[in-house]
Copies of this chain bind each other. A is one copy, B any other.
Amino acid sequence: MLEADFKYIIDTFFAIFSMTLIIFMVPGFAMLEAGLVRTKNVTSVLTINVMIYAVASMAFLLIGYKFAFGSWDNDSMSKWAAFLFQMAFVGKTINIMSGGVSERVKIIPLMIFAVVMAAFIYPAIVNITWGSNFLSGTMFDISAMHDLAGSTVIHSTGAWALLAAIIIMGSRKGRYPKGGGIRVIPASNIPLVTLGALLLWIGWFGFNGGSVGSISSKESADAVALTIMNTNTAGLAGAIIAALIMYVRYKLFDITMILNGALGGLVAITAGPDLYDMYTPILVGIIGGTLVVFAVPVFDKLKLDDPVGALSVHLVNGIWGTLAVGIFVESVSFMDQLKGVVVVAVFAFTSSFVALYIINKIVKFRAEDDAQVEGMDVNECGVEAYPEFKRAI
């Protein structure tokens, strides 16, 4: 057998394996978010998650993929496998955004935005980073940024869109009462939150490991394994530091913060897990988890109402993780990383804001106050999540 054929076969298989792991993030996000919101909004959140996967993937198939990469052709693996791997990413940017506007966002305008994001905004960002790069040679060329699996390309992009969305939609009714202060709204189902976060964690192995792009040489096999190991290590460190901080401050182990700490570490490591030695990810994750714990109250003080903590996890750590590669890896320029962060920030925020603004003029994103009080499930889905269970509150 020709070595090229061997590589083609193995890398196709590996891309399918990685893609499958990433698809576990679909139930991952769905369970995480369904567990974090109130029971009256659970069906709505689940419906949104399923529909994002359906709508965004279809838009990427029909429009976005070719826009991002210039062509479907691929020599190193089956072009269908290459597509599947990239398709598994696209919904995530919208999941990040939709989670943060849970309990008030309406489904129809959100689906319109999902099409815009998956067909145009996200592919444009992929185009200038991992793709055919229409900015090549211009002053906005950011292809020198090292962002293996998307601390910036995926996580910051989704979170900048979320920031734009929160500004346009406002906070949930009752979250910031007129008298001042913040109304605590507890997560309704902690087993779902835990299951979801752990499925995301497992999906991350495919996300980052698969982003190495090949496993068919000794060097690439090593790179894949190191990438997955470092990814995991940063998650461990994020969870541990979040637990420690919570305990020191409150003498309590708050599992939602511990899991968000882990996710923060995972987001932060995503830019460069292939370039670190085996100890640096501990530091990246510790800082990532710490940032989550301290960012959550800051966003609340700014009255940016984000029920799942997505800004703290994905925006703060998307930026931190991308810059960290420039700090800890000698061969990577900090300025290149910073430039990438800034260019993507400006483009993702601006384009999302414009898209959201226009859509909002046509169909309001925000549900009416009384619909929010009654719950999105009854109003948008006609299906209660737990109809037989008596509510305590």
A interface residues, Cβ below 8 angstroms from B? 1, 3, 5-6, 8-10, 12-17, 19-21, 23-24, 26-27, 30-31, 34-35, 38-39, 42-43, 46-47, 49-51, 53-55, 57-58, 61, 77-81, 83-84, 87, 107-108, 186-192, 194-195, 197-199, 201-202, 205, 209, 215-218, 221-222, 224-226, 228-229, 232-233, 235-237, 239-240, 243, 247, 250, 252-256, 258-259, 262, 278, 282, 380-393
Contact of A10 among B13, B43, B226 (CB under 8 A): B13
A20-B205, A84-B232 are known; give 13 further A-B pairs, CB within 8 A.
A10-B10, A13-B13, A27-B195, A30-B191, A34-B191, A43-B190, A49-B194, A53-B239, A55-B240, A58-B237, A186-B388, A252-B382, A389-B391
Q: Check if A225 sits within 8 Å of B54, measured CB to CB.
A: no
For the complex, give the distance between the alpha carbons of A15 and B47 in Å: 33
CB closest residue in chain B, given A230? B80
Residues of B within 8 Å of A226, CB to CB, are 78, 80
Residues of B within 8 Å of A195, CB to CB, are 27, 30-31, 195
Q: Check if B383 sits within 8 Å of A255, measured CB to CB.
A: yes
Q: Check if A383 sits within 8 Å of B190, measured CB to CB.
A: yes
- Taken together, the copies of this chain in the complex come to 3
30 A-B pairs in the complex with CB atoms less than 8 angstroms apart = A6-B6, A8-B218, A12-B215, A20-B202, A23-B202, A27-B195, A27-B198, A27-B199, A46-B191, A46-B194, A50-B198, A50-B258, A53-B236, A53-B239, A54-B236, A54-B243, A57-B236, A61-B233, A77-B221, A80-B225, A80-B278, A84-B225, A84-B228, A186-B383, A187-B383, A189-B386, A190-B384, A252-B380, A255-B381, A389-B392
Query: What is the interface of chain A mostly: helix, strand, loop, or mixed?
Result: helix
Q: Check if B42 sits within 8 Å of A191, measured CB to CB.
A: yes
Q: How far is the CB of A209 from chain B (nearest CB, A)?
A: 7
Residues of B within 8 Å of A278, CB to CB, are 61, 80
Task: Given A83-B229, A188-B386, decide whether A202 and B47 contact each other with a Cβ distance below 8 A.
Answer: no
Residues of B within 8 Å of A385, CB to CB, are 189-191
Q: How far is the CB of A279 from chain B (nearest CB, A)?
A: 9
Q: Check if A236 sits within 8 Å of B58, measured CB to CB.
A: yes
Q: How far is the CB of A385 from chain B (nearest CB, A)?
A: 4
Residues of B within 8 Å of A1, CB to CB, are 3, 6
Q: How far is the CB of A231 from chain B (nearest CB, A)?
A: 10
Task: Given A9-B221, A225-B81, decide whether A393 and B388 contact each other with a Cβ distance below 8 A.
Answer: yes
Q: Check if A34 sits within 8 Å of B391, measured CB to CB.
A: no
Q: How far is the CB of A80 from chain B (nearest CB, A)?
A: 4
Residues of B within 8 Å of A393, CB to CB, are 387-388
Counting from the closest, the 5 A-B pairs by CB-CB distance are A80-B225, A252-B382, A78-B225, A81-B225, A54-B239
CB closest residue in chain B, given A265? B54
Task: Given A53-B236, A240-B55, A381-B252, decide whether A192 and B191 contact each other with a Cβ distance below 8 A.
Answer: yes
Contact of A9 among B192, B218, B380 (CB under 8 A): B218
Q: Check if A232 sits within 8 Å of B57, measured CB to CB.
A: yes
Residues of B within 8 Å of A21, CB to CB, are 20
Residues of B within 8 Å of A5, CB to CB, are 217-218
